[in-house]
Amino acid sequence: MPQSAGIRLLQVARPYWGLFVAGLAATLIASVLDGVTIVVLIPLLKILFGTAGSLAQSGTRLEAVMDRILAPLLSGASPSVAGTRLVAVLMAGLVLKNAFTYGSNQLSVAVQEGLVRDLRVKLYRHLLTIELGFFQRTRQGQLISAVIADADQCKQAVTAALAAFFQNVVLILVSLVILSFTSVRLTLITVAAAPILVLGIRQLLRRLRRYAGEWAEERGRLTSTVTERLAAIKLIRGYGAEAVEGDAFADQADRYRKRLIRTQRFSSLTSPVSEVFGGLVIILIIWAAANPDVIGARLRPEATIGFLAVALKMMAPIKSLAQFPTSMAMALASAERVFSWLDRESAEQDEPGARPARFERDLVFDQVRFSYGGEDVLTDVSFPIKKGQIVAIVGPSGAGKSTLLELVPRFHDPTGGAIRLDGVPLSGLTRASLRQTIGLVSQETVVLNDTVHANIAYGRPEASAALVREAAGAANALEFIDKLPDGFDTLLGERGTRLSGGQRQRIAIARALLRDPPLLILDEATSALDTESERLVQEAIDRLMKDRTVLVVAHRLATVQHADEIVVLDSGRIVEQGPHAALLARGGLYRRLYDLQFRTVEDMA
């Protein structure tokens, strides 16, 4: 049976139990001191009223306890001196109580933020291991909302809420002890109404928890829309869709508003309900104290005021306890969302006994098959790549070329057949060591919002500035890097927006050069570039390919004419294979693609 979200949160918080217990201890001391200040208030009121005798005619337990505790302080003192000393005790109690309360709060904050940090890091690291198809099916905003908002909301469940729960329970118990020492009957009358409040609050929780979950889901959708649409701002403006997008977002924001209002409607209802309950209890106390037949004794003024002070003090923790299930329900709704992501299976686990990858002889595709969504993308693909060879993959759009490349670094695993590196199936190698042997340069160049240096050194962060500069020079990138405002220390902006497509591609090539991998994978690295950019990028790629084993997908067939072997794919199958000249002479699909491409170029010229 799966564990509840609350238990799993407690497990995540395990490293902080020491701090948590220390915070609870500070809370306990503060709560006791809070009660002490009220106890001391009663003899002070007695001195101010100038009365004598017991506090309650029905018994002297409270008086006896206070006499025993305060006797060393008040014995033989005049009323004015005794009053002064009691005021000093009150002040000392208040200072100490608030000091311990402050310490408790600081410890609680340390636990809260530690828990949130650990939960965020755990979720983020887990997301990095989930199979890539998951990210194609899931909107990024949902994940961002889980990592940021839902993780933050979880802290209310095991820290602030539980600490406040403990503090309030202690305050109520201390108050009940004081009240019972004053009048047992009046205390019983006071607490008899508590179940009414508890039952009333419980009725709100079922709907609140469901509505809190729906609100969190809508918050994720709203975040997704903002993230996605702002990333597509050029598309929106280019098609004049600002008004349409604005209206769609307004509708979504309105749905979010309605769900939030519905959640807050039940969440906020606990406060007025408990407020009305507190007022009714105070009225009940005053009525009972004014009727000796009800409580079996007549309370003196100072005892009545003290009882009311304690009862009023107790109303705040009762109110907080009434709201505790509300806070817990909302926190657990967020926790359930976080753990729903964490429960998704990781795709990055190595098999038992997996060995480090070594590339010394060849990489072999052996009857490789790959299916996605029940549809075959690759079928019985078999060919070898010997170390030092350049092998090109060509074919019409949708033939499965890029999918084939993604199987090598194990972004996906074949659904049939095997890929072997030096005779060892890739599944028998550790992913980290396998990927360490591979350099990737694709048409969808990824540039991070970081410095030029950090982007080039991404796969080799310990590289010196001299090595990074050397790699940039070999990638024909120094020309524009040196013109940037801060050179290699220039921040490139989100997705490298400060650079052109060709410049971003040269950054990616410099990154691969610096890593110096034995196996290079190029996925249409020069597509969608202008002539000058293509020339510079191709020169950089030629340097990158030197003395390496290369698996390349190219849309422009002129770039793969000198490959040692060309594999032609169509509908996920190999239909031709051989060097450029032999394939042209065969007059098959490769020849048709070649003639079509170059005829198009001649027509354009």
Which residue, of 342, 366, 384, is where some domain finishes? 342
Which residue, of 516, 541, 572, is where some domain finishes? 516
Name the phi and psi angles at 376, rounded to 5: -70, 125
Asked if the structure places residue 25 within a domain, the reply is: yes
User: Same structural domain for residues 573 and 459?
Assistant: no
Q: How far apart are CA 456 and CA 462, in angstroms?
A: 11
Residue 1: per-residue pLDDT: 39
Q: Which of 75-89, 374-388, 498-512 has the lowest mean pLDDT?
A: 75-89
Residue-wise pLDDT for 107-122, tens only, equals 888 888 888 888 888 8
For residues 47-63, give the mean pLDDT: 49
Which residue, of 310, 342, 374, is where some domain finishes? 342
Residue-wise pLDDT for 9-40, tens only, equals 888 888 888 888 888 888 888 878 877 777 77
Half-sphere exposure of residue 268: CA atoms within 13 angstroms, side-chain side: 6
User: Same structural domain for residues 451 and 505?
Assistant: yes
Residue 270: per-residue pLDDT: 65
Asked if pLDDT for residue 313 goes beyond 50, the answer is: yes
Asked if the structure places residue 594 within a domain, the reply is: yes
User: Same structural domain for residues 193 and 322?
Assistant: yes
User: Same structural domain for residues 323 and 409?
Assistant: no
Q: What is the CATH number of the domain that holds 322?
A: 1.20.1560.10
438 pairs with which residues across the strands? Answer: 519
Asked if the structure places residue 537 within a domain, the reply is: no
pTM of the predicted protein model: 0.71
Q: 574 near 383, Cβ under 8 Å? A: yes
Asked if the structure places residue 511 within a domain, the reply is: yes
Number of structural domains the chain divides into? 3
Name the phi and psi angles at 316, rounded to 5: -60, -50
Residue-wise pLDDT for 486-543, tens only, equals 889 988 877 667 788 788 888 888 888 888 888 988 887 665 555 666 677 777 777 7
Asked if the structure places residue 191 within a domain, the reply is: yes
The residue that leads in pLDDT, 57 or 541, is: 541
User: Same structural domain for residues 316 and 334?
Assistant: yes
Asked if the structure places residue 350 within a domain, the reply is: no
Residue 520: per-residue pLDDT: 87
Asked if the structure places residue 332 within a domain, the reply is: yes
Confidence tier at 97 by pLDDT (50, 70, 90)? confident
Q: 145 near 123, Cβ under 8 Å? A: no
Q: Which of 95-104, 431-440, 534-543 has the lowest mean pLDDT?
A: 534-543
Residue-wise pLDDT for 194-235, tens only, equals 666 666 666 666 666 667 767 777 777 787 777 767 766 666
Two structure tokens written together for 500: 């052109």
Please give the residue range of the domain that contains residue 95: 5-342
User: Same structural domain for residues 362 and 215?
Assistant: no
The residue that leads in pLDDT, 478 or 373, is: 478
Contacts 24+ apart (CB under 8 A), 226-232: 226/141, 227/140, 227/141, 227/144, 228/139, 228/140, 228/141, 231/495
User: Same structural domain for residues 58 and 73?
Assistant: yes
Residue 475: per-residue pLDDT: 83
The residue that leads in pLDDT, 285 or 27, is: 27
The residue that leads in pLDDT, 143 or 205, is: 143
User: Same structural domain for residues 256 and 335?
Assistant: yes
How much of the chain exceeds pLDDT 70, in percent? 80
Asked if the structure places residue 347 within a domain, the reply is: no
User: Same structural domain for residues 19 and 127?
Assistant: yes
User: Same structural domain for residues 222 and 187?
Assistant: yes
Confidence tier at 74 by pLDDT (50, 70, 90)? low
Amino acid code (one letter) for 149? A
Q: How far apart are CA 74 and CA 77, in angstroms?
A: 5
Q: How far apart are CA 481 and CA 483, in angstroms?
A: 5
User: Same structural domain for residues 394 and 314?
Assistant: no
Q: What is the CATH number of the domain that holds 414?
A: 3.40.50.300
